[in-house]
Structure 1
Amino acid sequence: MTQNTQTTQNDQITLVIGGTGKTGRRVVERLTSLGRPVRVGSRSAEPGFDWQDPETWEAALEGVDRVYITYYPDLAFPGATEQVDAFSRLAVARGARRLVLLSGRGEEAAQAGEECVKKAGAEWTIVRSSWFNQNFSESFFLEPVLAGEIALPTGDAVEAFVDTDDIADVVVAALTDDRHIGKTYELSGPRLLSFSDVAVELSKATGREISYVSVTHEQYRAVLRENGLPEDFADLFAMILDGRNAHLVHGVEEALGRKPKDFADFAREAAASGVWDA
């Protein structure tokens, strides 16, 4: 009986939307190491997946039993709820039995997308994340770190940065273990950090001076505009400035029974990888 159950599980395809991204790539690696069939959902995959092109969704869902849903650029952005709703309903109609959604802590606009997943008719788990540690090594804060100056409209506000390895571990648990069905996990790291604190930790890890400079909201929107990035990204800093997430949560411990990774540990590991070598 156990062997038959395991065989059935190992035949189930998991679609990982954003499977080349920060959390998705790690989820793919973990599922693959467990012997689980995985399909990467991205525009460069075969078949391709594009949130802005619903005609690509059907092929990506062929034979899929469960789905990890990430939405780019952010679940709180305009239009995200409608697309997540339509996709979730289609996924269930095509046979998906479990949906795991990556959401954001304190993002009220994202909660509408969460409700769509819950109502789609499948088993579900919601994973609400704080800001990623890896934003400083794999994303939009990488170049400022390399340049030695992080200029952001955050003042002295604090955030409970969480590591994407922890997120991926929670997501994989939710995809593979029935104990997480119907749960909403809020994830954070083990301590609150201001961006000044972050700069100190990065300086220690890299052995060179990295400073934090506070800029106005409009100045930062101008920088985004100049670099061809969505200006709406600036609005996400409101969640840091108003203090809604200025407290620790314990979803990593609840889901995995262990403590989350500290930012200092992340910084040392990233520095050792050479990603910040000037």
Structure 2
Amino acid sequence: MPELPIGEGPESGSVGRMILITGATGTIGGEVVRQLTGRGVPLRAMSRTPSGPHGVRADFDDPESLRRAVEGVEAVFLLTAPTTATSRHDLALLAAAREAGVARVVKLSAIGTGETTADGEVIGEWHLEGEEAVRASGMGWTVLRPSSFASNVLRFAAGERISNLTGDGKQGVVDPRDVAAVAVEALTDPRHDGRVHTLTGPELLSVPDQAAELSRVLGRPVETVEVSPEQFASSGMGSSAARSIAIGTAWVREGHNAVVTDDVERVLGRPPTRFSDWVRDHVEAFG
């Protein structure tokens, strides 16, 4: 398939009908809602507890609510939470979307999905099942495989220390706003149909590297603390999600996610955001 011309946005093939955003209250989904709203694109922001002018109540475990959510929708942003690490929610939404005649689906997956470890464990197995269902859906589809989010340092921060599950393993840490911007392009431009975009930032960083950059920008020490996947899972995460995290973090520790791509720049026509710039834009979140 030919490459997309750099920097060309959705004007040449944009959709004119409703877009449904699942996971609309989360980091990526909320940013997709914000960017689409800024473009004046009609949308529905799906969640179990909707709010705002675009909010629509639906639950992946309630087929009737999904049918109502996708009615009259042209494209769906499919984001399902990894708390249970199952493709069941992907399949439920896809079934409703097919029935409603939805034309396009953009699935948020994860980098490395489908790769295997030395002992035969599959990375992102639940995402892989969802990806396969998206490809077989009969709709136009795009899969987004982002690397580790820059915003993860907020989620793992504890006082002046950042939990480190991945040791010295480096990753192409990506700004969630860039991921959302690529999602918006894929949702509004059919030229992305049939593509897998692997989304990274412009540099490889370990968690200690991120802590050092935070220290530099914030002007105070930021340390890391080693946390095993088992310790992280003990905070109440389900066993299937904990196992998925254990496999993925071991894969990163072994250096397999030391990957940088040009997919963000190819789609958006600009370089991806550096981690230091993301930190500067979110200084207030660090107190």
TM norm structure 2: 0.83
Q: Deviations over 1:210-244 (max 9, x none)?
A: 101224443x24xx42x333453442312312322
Q: Does residue 123 in structure 1 map to residue 140 in structure 2?
A: yes
Match of 1:66 among 67, 75, 95: 75
Whichever residue aligns with residue 169 of structure 1, its letter is A
Moved more, 206-215 or 93-102: 206-215
Q: Work out whether residues 106 and 239 of structure 1, in 8 Å CA contact, stay in contact via their aligned partners in 2.
A: no
Instruction: Tell me the residue number matched to 2:215.
Output: 203
Whichever residue aligns with residue 60 of structure 1, its letter is A
Q: Does residue 89 in structure 1 map to residue 102 in structure 2?
A: no
CA distance in 1, matches of 2:253, 2:25: 30
Q: Does residue 32 in structure 1 map to residue 32 in structure 2?
A: no
Equivalent pairs counted in the alignment come to 257
CA distance in 1, matches of 2:42, 2:251: 37
Q: Does residue 229 in structure 1 map to residue 244 in structure 2?
A: no
Q: What pairs with 1:1-278 in structure 2 (closer than 5 Å)?
A: 9-10=15-16, 12-45=17-50, 47-73=56-82, 78-80=85-87, 82-108=88-114, 109=125, 110-137=127-154, 140-141=155-156, 143-144=157-158, 147-218=159-230, 220-221=231-232, 224-225=233-234, 227-230=235-238, 232-233=241-242, 234-235=245-246, 236-271=248-283, 274-277=284-287
**Relative contact order: is structure 1 or structure 2 higher (C-alpha 8 Å, sep ≥ 6)?**
2
Whichever residue aligns with residue 179 of structure 2, its letter is I
Q: Work out whether residues 148 and 209 of structure 1, in 8 Å CA contact, stay in contact via their aligned partners in 2.
A: yes
Which structure has more helix as a fraction of its residues?
1
Q: Work out whether residues 74 and 103 of structure 2, in 8 Å CA contact, stay in contact via their aligned partners in 1.
A: yes
Alignment gaps of 5+ in structure 2 = 1-10, 115-124
Alignment gaps of 5+ in structure 1 = none
The two structures, once aligned, show a CA RMSD in angstroms of 2.1
Instruction: Tell me the residue number matched to 2:8.
Output: none
Q: Work out whether residues 180 and 255 of structure 1, in 8 Å CA contact, stay in contact via their aligned partners in 2.
A: no
CA distance in 2, matches of 1:22, 1:215: 23
Over the matched positions of the two proteins, sequence identity in percent amounts to 35
TM norm structure 1: 0.85
CA distance in 2, matches of 1:24, 1:161: 18
Q: Deviations over 1:190-226 (max 9, x none)?
A: 01111110111111222221101224443x24xx42x
